[in-house]
Amino acid sequence: MRFAISNFPLLLIGLTCYSLATFAQTQDPLITSMRKADEARVAMGSVPPWMGVSQSGEPTGYTVELASLALKNMGAPALTPVLTAWEAMIPGLLARHFDLIGPGLVITEPRCRVVVFSAPMIAMHDALFVRSGNPSNLENLRQVTETPEIRLAVVTGSSQEAYVLKQGIAFERLVRVPDIEAGVAVVIGRRANAFVVGQFSISKPEQKGLEVVVDKSTPLSGIGAAFRKEDIRFRDAFDKQLDLLRTNGAWKNLIVKYEVPNWDMLTKLKRASHVVPSCE
C-alpha cells in the first residue's frame, strides 16, 4: 500500500508529460501560433476575484489561474490579457483578435453554435442582487417579470439578458450596463430595483450594500473558456488538462484559495455538454 501511494504523484506527472508530449507532436495550429507570437492572447472581463487584470497589467483571479495551469501544461506561453466588453468577446475571437476567451462567459446553446467551450470552471444559478433589506421584497425572476414597476439591470449581451427577455419581461424595463461594477452602481444608485447575474459573480455583496436572492428555478449555468470551432482539438486537450488538475489536487487548491463554492458539482461537470447537452 505504501508503494502505491508513494508512486501516485509520479504517475500523475507521467500522465501530464505524456499528454503534453502527445499534444505537442500533433503540431496543433493554435499552439503553434501562440509559440510563434510568444504569448497567448486571452479576452478577459473584470469579475474579481474570479477574473481581472492587476494595476501592473497582470491577469489575476481564480479562473485565470486555473486556465493558466492548463495552458502551461500544454506547452503554451504566458497569458496576455485583452480587456474586452462581454458582448464583443465572441465577435473578437472569430475575428482572431485573440486566441481564446478566458473563462467568464456562460455556456449557452446559442453560443455553442459559433464557439466551443471548455468544461465549466464555475457552476451556479442566476440571482437578483438588491439593496440591503430587499426593499422591493423580490423573491425570483418570475416575480420581477410580472411586476411592471420593477426595473431590472442586466449586462448587455449576457445570458441573463437573453433569459429574462425569453421569460417575457418588457424590453423598456431593462437597464443595460457594460459590466458587473456598473450593475452594482445602478442598484445602489436606485436606477434599478435589482441586478440579475450569476449568484457568485459579486464577491462579498454585503460589503457593497447589496443582498443576494438566488433563484434556483433558473437553469444551472456553467462558465468556461471559449475557443473557435476550428480549434476543437485544442479545446479537447485543454479539457484533458482540467481532468488532470482535478485529479492531482491543483484545482482543489485554487478552490480553497479563492473560496469557490460548488466543488462537488464541478467534479462532475467535466465537459460543456454536461450543462448544455447540445454543446460539442
Reported as a single tens digit per residue, the pLDDT across 150-189 is 999 999 999 999 999 999 999 999 999 999 999 999 999 9
CATH code: domain 2-123+220-274 is: 3.40.190.10
Quick: pLDDT tens for 221-264. 999 999 999 999 999 999 999 999 999 999 999 999 999 988 99
CA dist 106 and 198 (Å) reads 9
The mean pLDDT value for 56-83 works out to: 94
pLDDT at residue 17 tops 90: no
pLDDT given at position 57: 85
Q: What phi and psi values does residue 101 have, to the nearest 5 degrees? A: -105, 125
Query: CATH number of 126-214: 1.25.40.10, 3.40.20.10, 3.40.190.10, 3.40.710.10?
Result: 3.40.190.10
pLDDT given at position 20: 52
DSSP-based three-state secondary structure for 120: coil
Average pLDDT score, the chain: 91
pLDDT given at position 152: 98
CA dist 49 and 64 (Å) reads 10
First to last CA, the chain: 40
pLDDT given at position 16: 46
For residue 143, with 0-12 CB atoms within 10 Å meaning exposed, 13-18 middle and 19 or more buried, which class applies?
A: middle
- The confidence band for 21, taking pLDDT boundaries of 50, 70 and 90, is very low
Which one has a higher pLDDT value, 18 or 229?
A: 229
E strand or H helix that includes residue 52: strand 52-53
pLDDT at residue 1 tops 80: no
- The confidence band for 8, taking pLDDT boundaries of 50, 70 and 90, is very low
Query: Please, where in the chain does CATH 3.40.190.10 lie?
Result: 2-123+220-274, 126-214
The mean pLDDT value for 65-85 works out to: 95
- The confidence band for 23, taking pLDDT boundaries of 50, 70 and 90, is low
